[in-house]
Every structure is written in structure tokens, then in C-alpha cells.
Amino acid sequence: MRGFVDDIEELTEGNTDFRRVLYTARNMQLVLMALQPGEEIGEEVHDDGDQFFRVEDGEGEILIDGNVSRIRADMAMIVPAGARHNVKNTGNEPLKLYTIYSPPEHVDGVVHPTKAEADAAHEHFDGKTTE
């Protein structure tokens, strides 16, 4: 297996897609995200897994079980399994971040250029990994 080795900062800052799955392993998944000004992921709960976020560019806020925190470049957040959460871009530029789902959440390799396309897709991890 090759695993994943690349410049995550460069990839994240260069991403313009709402969601882009980069790599899926059996127990975790690496996903790039870009939220436009005023855009949000939308409140959700992952009962079966934890989620890590890191912001590379922009500013916003994260909601975790009713607690709102300001976020900006170089900040990391962990959302425990079962916590209701949301990430929102409150700035004037795209919010560029990456997230690690553990276990995977989305179909490997999926790209959703916009939030509308992501919301319409209704796809979930199907058990197929990158390698």
C-alpha cells in the first residue's frame, strides 16, 4: 500500500470544491472542503465516529453541541462521536479546511463542486477504499 503523502496545506488552499475526498482508508478518510462566504456545512451528527477539522485559510465558526467557537487559519477542532455540529464561513473569503472522518463517511474519490450538489447526492461510504 502507498498510503497518502502530499502537501496538505497546498492541496487545501488550492481546493475550490465544497467537498473533495482525497483518500479513504478502512478506518479513516481525508476530505478537503471550501466554504464560500456565508456558507455552512449544515448541522449534522455522526453517531459512529469522531471528526477532525483543520482550517488552512479563512475564518468562521464551529458549533459543537450548542457551543460556538470562532475559528481561523491554523486552528484544529475535534468533534466527538454523537455531537451535533456545524461549520460556517463568517468571513469575506472562502474558508479552506480539511477534515478527517474516522470511520469514513463518503464514497472514495467523490467530488462535490458545490454545497447544493453535495446535499443532492445523499451518498455514504460504501466500504471501498482508495487502495
Which domains are seen in the chain, by residue range?
Answer: 8-106 (2.60.120.10)
Return the pLDDT at 122: 85
CB 56 within 8 A of CB 73: yes
pLDDT beneath 70, residues of the chain = none
Return the pLDDT at 84: 98
Return the pLDDT at 80: 98
CB 12 within 8 A of CB 32: yes
* Model pTM score: 0.96
Helix (H) or strand (E) holding 127: none
Q: Is 3 left (phi over 0), alpha (psi -120 to 50) or beta?
A: left
